[in-house]
Structure 1
Amino acid sequence: MATDQSSIGRSVLLRQFLWPFITGFWVVFVGVCIWGGGALAQLAWAEQRAPDDPLAYQIQQLQLELDALATLTPVILQPSELAQAIGDAVYNTAVWAATGTLRTLMNIPGLWRENAANDFIRHHPDPGGTYAQKMFQDTGHSWQRLVVANYTLATRTAMFLAMLPLLALTTAIGLTDGLMARARRRANAGRESASLYHRAKLGSTGLLITSYLACLAVPSLTQPVWVLVPVAVGVGGLVRVQGGYFKKYL
């Protein structure tokens, strides 16, 4: 029994120690999958719309979306500057990760490097970093298309983040009206509905996630207001349902 309890104690301590790393891993993994999927979607749309010159089509589309982003009124941050910062962060992270991986594989001193068949790996002071730079230069057209797709996704992310003040407003209105409805329901001894509350809670989260994924995947987003305003209003309505059917007694 003592052994079982000590084993349980160690496993609990281990989970408490590892959960930040596990959470961070899944956040990074999901983020890479979403961003990579969005980039592949943009490449596929460009191939379909302009098979002769997809890079020129992507650049033209990016410029149109940047012009649309510039029309949004800044509240906290300038949307154009935010898009540039997001795009630069993703680009620099990708280059840093690829360069670091190649340096790890090619720069580690030891018997493997000393006995490598390639003279470049044996004698160059930084074969991994040099090879990474050459790789990015030689990819040419394909790499440029990925870079443009990255900044297109960054622009759309900035559009979505520009909705946050409107989302906060509709959420506050929906919550206030919902709590007033809850107060009337309590005063009249009305029934609460945990089913509606939980479905509205899941619906508001799901609406935000699916709308963001749709923004990344659509071929064009030159009219963000027609997308962002209905999403904010829909979330506000779902929050109103949550407030109205919250627990009768706290």
Structure 2
Amino acid sequence: MSSTNWEITFDGITYECINCGYCCSCKDWRIYLSYFDTLKLKEYEEYIEEIKEDITGLGFTKRLKTNNRGCVLLNSNNLCNIQLKKGYEFKPIMCKLFPFSFMVKWNGDLLLIIKHYCNGIKKGKCDDKIIKHAIECCEELYLDEMDEIINMGMEHSTKTRLNNNTLISWEEREELGRYIFDSSNLEELSEKCKEVLNIDIFKDMKKLNHDSEIFIKNEEEIIRYLGELNRREHFRKLSFKKEIYYLLNIGKELSKYSDIFKGEGVIDSKILNYHK
């Protein structure tokens, strides 16, 4: 059992592997190897390369090589040659972790996130075993660096900005975010924004998207996803008011997609940082 406090940010979303090979495509990311990965992959040294410069800043020194399809160990059936020949336990930790990752919460707790650009993302409840496995992979991959990651990622001030003129506690900001995005429709969300921040966004949102069939179909999921982004704390360096405006603009962008999960994948690919 982990001694670190973990918070799940993606209630209502799960995934199922569809054997598409996207996680092995190394599109905008690379598969870095822990020290223990390299020990397990002694027979695969020809597929591993040294890193001249660790752009991750996390002490990685080796990674898997790539070709025009992605990872060199991906076969023609979108299957991993390591897993086929040696077994799942021999796969690099970073491979086993996908599509999950984590961020550091303002108080030093850890936020487990799911990457929506995985093609297997869908609506539903994520199995507890999957979540447990993802957390174990995170802790194993960053075992030696976790304390430093937490210290660098958490906030060391007790206050955050509600707007340009008002400071509130981080606990208050978190509670306000949960309150606003615990809304069943846009009208309720707009009323809460007016109540909390004295901003009127309903007319603007309705004029752009609310009358479209696409938005009506996906309204609940759009609000859920915006709440997920709020819980991830991507934009906590902004004032809470500016963060809400930023998230609502993301909602407008999402309303253009008939396939809502494809839209979320596009947004996630823009927000999350990749290391090539």
Q: Give TM-score scaled by structure 1 length.
A: 0.30
Q: Return the structure number with greater relative CO, CA threshold 8 A, min gap 6.
A: 1
Q: Give the TM-score taking structure 2 as reference length.
A: 0.28
Structure with the higher fraction of residues in helix conformation: 1
From the two aligned structures, give the one with the greater strand fraction.
2
**Greater Rg, structure 1 or structure 2?**
1
